[in-house]
Structure formats: C-alpha cells, structure tokens
Amino acid sequence: MPKHIVSGLKYLTAVELIRQGLSQKEVAKILEMDRSTVSHYLNGRNLSWNSIEVAEIITKFCPKDFLTLTYALLNDSEKTRIIVKTCLKENYQAKVEETCIGCGLCADTCLMNAIVLDDLKAQIDSNWCCGCLMCRDVCPTNSIKILEVEDGC
C-alpha cells in the first residue's frame, strides 16, 4: 500500500510539473523515474485511481503532516521536498528575527532544506518553505515567523 501512495504522489507531482511547462524528460529526471513511466502516469495507466485519491487527500493535510508522511514513505529528502513543494497550493513567507542565536537547530530540523546559517543567523528560503512550522516549534528563542501569503514571492 505505501508503494501505491508514493505512486499517487508522484503522479500528482508529475501532472503539476507538466502543467508548469516542464517536459516529460525533465519530470522523469526530477522524480528519478523512466520516461516511459511518466508517460504511462500521465495517460492514467499503471496506476489505480484509488491511489491518486489517497494521495490527493494527503496533499490536503496540514503541511507538517503532508511533509512528515511523505518523508516517511519515501525516506528520501530530495524527492520529498520536490513532491511537497510542487503539490502544495499555498505560499509562505518566512522571517527570522534579530533574536536568532544561530544555533542551527532549525536548519537541522527542516526537511525541505530551506534553511542555512549566515553570520550566526538563520536564512530561510521562502521559495522552499512548506509552512510545516517545525523550525518555528524547535527554535529556542522564538525567532521564526512563518506567514501564509497570497502568491509566490
């Protein structure tokens, strides 16, 4: 069953990436699949509609659950962050306050690899932020603010 859900999630990601204008070849490379499998996916073959429905429900979970569940299923951080970022409809803007002490706990926690430290301050790449709030919860000085925004930044 987990395998089927992963297929469903990859299908949703593939469809969205094609919609964004990527070629089948590029999609295959990103998702590390055969090009023919991508083609099958897009034609609705080799895939049960049930898996897609379950995957769709998962993408509508709160971002933290979507992210952690996807990571648990794939156990691959690079593919997880691509699937989550592609399937998420919402955009987020992250802000780090001056009170940040640069402990790096957020960077270690972030499954989207969106955080790096620069001059003892966390820098969050809003393009990759999925709004899971795990960094905010782990921050010892409450220095992280995550806002949901209307469109991409």
Nearer residue to other proteins within complex by CB, 12 or 115: 115
Taking the C-alpha atoms of residue 45 and residue 21, their distance in angstroms, rounded to an integer, is 21
Interface size with other proteins, residues (CB under 8 A): 20
Region of residue 21 (phi > 0: left; psi between -120 and 50: alpha; otherwise: beta): left
133 scored as a contact of other proteins (CB under 8 A):
no
Site string for other proteins, 48-87 (x = CB under 8 A): -----------------------------x----------
| Out of 91, 109, 123, 126, the residue judged to bind other proteins by CB under 8 A | 109
DSSP 31-92: TT--HHHHHHHHTT-SS-HHHHHHHHHHHTS-HHHHHHHHHHHH--HHHHHHHHHHH---EE
Residues in the site for other proteins, rule: CB under 8 A?
77, 98-105, 107-109, 113, 119-121, 138, 140-141, 143
